[in-house]
Amino acid sequence: DAGVIQSPRHEVTEMGQEVTLRCKPISGHDYLFWYRQTMMRGLELLIYFNNNVPIDDSGMPEDRFSAKMPNASFSTLKIQPSEPRDSAVYFCASLADRGAANTGELFFGEGSRLTVL
């Protein structure tokens, strides 16, 4: 497996534009997490899914943020409209189910670095 795959790796956009970040989790993993990394706040959990169903989105900053997981192999995080304060690195991570040989280990993608001008 190639691991968790995220795209794009870098995105520079202007304030007000729509941004879509993509993630492909590790095959067979039941959980998918979206995190945002900034110097000030560290790694913030935005939302997580279990079997494609959103379980907790309390970390999503505001209505401008939305996330979907239409199937087990794909998820998107969308920001519309984007603002300069959204500039950060966004990570996707996946995790196997507790019932599996689950060590509780999160597998991270390489991240999507977003800059909103």
The residues of the shown chain that bind other proteins, judged by CB under 8 A, are 3, 31, 33, 35, 41-45, 48, 50, 55-56, 91, 93, 95, 98, 103-106, 108-111
CB of 112 to other proteins, least distance (A): 13
Q: Which is nearer to other proteins, 45 or 76 (CB)?
A: 45
Local structure of 85: helix, strand or coil: helix
Structure tokens at 69: 């997981």
Q: Which is nearer to other proteins, 35 or 82 (CB)?
A: 35
CB of 93 to other proteins, least distance (A): 8
CA 37 to chain centroid: 11
Beta bridge partners of 23: 6, 75
CA-to-CA distance for 114 and 117, rounded, in angstroms?
10
Q: Which is nearer to other proteins, 35 or 65 (CB)?
A: 35
CA 100 to chain centroid: 23
CA-to-CA distance for 56 and 19, rounded, in angstroms?
22
CB of 104 to other proteins, least distance (A): 6
Q: Which is nearer to other proteins, 31 or 65 (CB)?
A: 31
